[in-house]
């Protein structure tokens, strides 16, 4: 079965060949799982990872090619989104960031919709969830107009609201219970990069680039990247796998600490001046 094969390719990629005891003959469910894992034989973790990447890539390519046919068929309970295209086909839920004219920059509305889409995918009957981007970009990070919408209570209130939303957004990845795959189809910037360490698999196309301009914008790291990036960068590859393991326990604490530091940065002169410089440079284009 394709889904079992995919699942245990992922298991083999993280744990190696099957070493679990064979379940009893009457334990039908666990025996089917054991057989699927055992059928992969002694292929290495690197080979299993490559096979998984190739198969996911072909499935996503097929999904993208048929998007015109399925775009009117939202996943799960029929929820619809303004900034996303969420579909389910062959037991794979695909969350596609869908602001191609804005390079899929994440607005406040988009943050909330991604959270809702992940919550929906967590409880639907799909087996794997894929996140990708529409158009040429995967995601250009935060839509910096988020920082220009200052409420009546001032910058501190804006920072508090932003921190609450970011904390909830990152936790949606930390708590996601199924295999989560990113297909980075083009440039990725900022928060779209930092959360990649919370995915089970990151598949990067030849057009993908990764950029985290924190200093340039007077900000600090988020998405638990202060923990996941040092763990990943020592063995970074085009196809990068991150097994959440012990990080799953540490990340909620790290998320809180990073968000608290970001609240400080968002109310700083450095951040304000950096964002204003960005808009001034953009106005001259």
- Averaged pLDDT, groups of 10, the chain, 285 residues long: 58 75 76 72 75 61 42 51 94 95 95 96 94 96 73 74 91 94 95 94 93 75 83 53 44 77 73 62 52
Q: What is the DSSP letter of 186?
A: S
What is the set of domains in the chain, with CATH numbers? Answer: 1-69 (1.20.80.10), 74-284 (3.90.226.10)
CA distance 203 to 189: 16
- Nearest in space to 176 (alpha carbons), one of 131, 232, 121: 121
Under DSSP, the state recorded for 43 is: -
Within a 10 A sphere around the Cβ of 127, how many other Cβ atoms?
A: 16
Residue with tokens 């030849």: 206
pLDDT value for 147: 62
How far is residue 200's CA from residue 11's CA, in Å, rounded to a whole number? 11
* Each residue's pLDDT tens digit, 76-133: 445 789 999 999 998 899 999 999 999 999 999 999 999 999 999 999 999 999 999 9
- Single out the residue of 185, 186, 200 nearest to residue 247, CA to CA: 200
How many residues does the structure list for the chain? 285
Query: Whole-model pTM above 0.75?
Result: no
What pLDDT, on a 0 to 100 scale, did the predictor assign at position 244? 41
Cα(170)–Cα(199) distance, integer angstroms = 11
Closest by CA to 232, choosing from 242, 223, 246, 222, is 242
């Amino acid at each position: 079965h394709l889904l079992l094969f995919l699942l245990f390719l992922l298991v083999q990629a993280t744990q190696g060949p099957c070493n679990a005891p064979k379940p009893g003959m009457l334990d039908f469910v666990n025996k089917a799982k054991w057989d699927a894992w055992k059928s992969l034989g002694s292929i290495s973790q690197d080979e299993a990872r490559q096979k998984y990447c190739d198969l996911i890539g072909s499935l996503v390519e097929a999904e993208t090619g048929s998007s015109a046919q399925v775009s009117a068929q939202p996943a799960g309970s029929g929820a619809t989104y303004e900034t996303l295209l969420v579909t389910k086909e062959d037991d794979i839920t695909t969350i596609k960031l869908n602001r191609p004219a804005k390079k899929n920059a994440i607005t406040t509305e988009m943050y909330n919709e991604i959270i809702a889409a992940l919550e929906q995918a967590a409880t639907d009957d799909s087996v794997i969830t894929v996140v990708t981007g529409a158009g040429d970009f995967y995601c250009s990070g935060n839509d910096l107009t988020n920082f220009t919408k200052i409420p009546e209570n001032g910058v501190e209130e804006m920072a508090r609201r932003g921190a609450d939303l970011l904390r909830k957004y990152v936790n949606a990845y930390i708590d996601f219970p199924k295999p989560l795959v990113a297909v980075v189809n083009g440039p990725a910037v900022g928060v779209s990069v930092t959360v990649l360490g919370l995915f089970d698999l990151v598949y990067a196309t030849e057009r993908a680039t990764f950029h985290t301009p924190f200093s340039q914008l007077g900000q600090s790291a988020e998405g638990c990247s202060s923990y996941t990036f040092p763990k990943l960068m020592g063995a970074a590859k085009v196809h990068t796998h991150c097994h959440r393991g012990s990080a799953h326990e540490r990340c909620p604490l790290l998320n809180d600490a990073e968000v608290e530091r970001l609240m400080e940065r968002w109310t700083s002169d450095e951040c304000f001046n950096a964002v204003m410089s960005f808009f001034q440079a953009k106005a001259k284009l």
